[in-house]
Amino acid sequence: MAENRINRENVTREKTARKKAWMKPEVLPSPTPEPGYAFRWIRVSTQGNVDATNVSSKLREGWEPVKASDHPEITMVTIENERFKDNVVIGGLMLCKAPEELAEERNAYYNQQTQAQMQSVDNSFMRENDPRMPLFNERKTKVTFGKGT
């Protein structure tokens, strides 16, 4: 009676799993995370022209270039600039790291700048308000699927 049943050992999740779909590879590889550090790719050159101003400003902000020997998992390292020959540089971008606190402070600073600019725009917009024809200043978005009617 049980002779036509399939043996459970022959049917596993791995054998019946769906084939993995193809995905576009990352342009810039992600380094292995280090506790307490945030990573960022910083522009070193554009179209072969060295961007010393950008690099020096980011180094003054506190970003440190990452040595290629510290992250051997990133194998596509190319030497584009003799100054950064020991660092991870891909396509004119150099991998840098900074303490997470510094990265969070930087993000908070730019978020505050953005909020101040948005408030300035709102104040300028609402200055033109007239009680006879009020302006609406709603910051809500709505995502619809289908016909959208």
60 occurs within a structural domain: yes
More confident residue, 34 or 85: 34
Q: Residue 123: inside a domain, yes or no?
A: no
Higher pLDDT, 129 or 59: 59
Residue 94, Cβ neighbours under 10 Å: how many? Answer: 23
For residue 42, the cross-strand partners are 94
Whole-prediction pTM: 0.61
Domain boundaries, position 43: 38-99
Give the model confidence (pLDDT) of 48-97 as tens digits.
788 889 999 999 999 999 888 888 877 654 555 567 778 888 888 899 99
Backbone angles phi, psi at 106, to 5 degrees: -65, -45
Task: Tell me the pLDDT band of 100, cut-offs 50, 70 and 90.
Answer: very high
**Domain membership flag for residue 87:** yes
The rounded Cα 137 to chain-centroid distance in angstroms is 30
Q: How many domains does the chain have?
A: 1
Instruction: Please tell me which residue, 126 or 49, carries the higher pLDDT value.
Output: 49
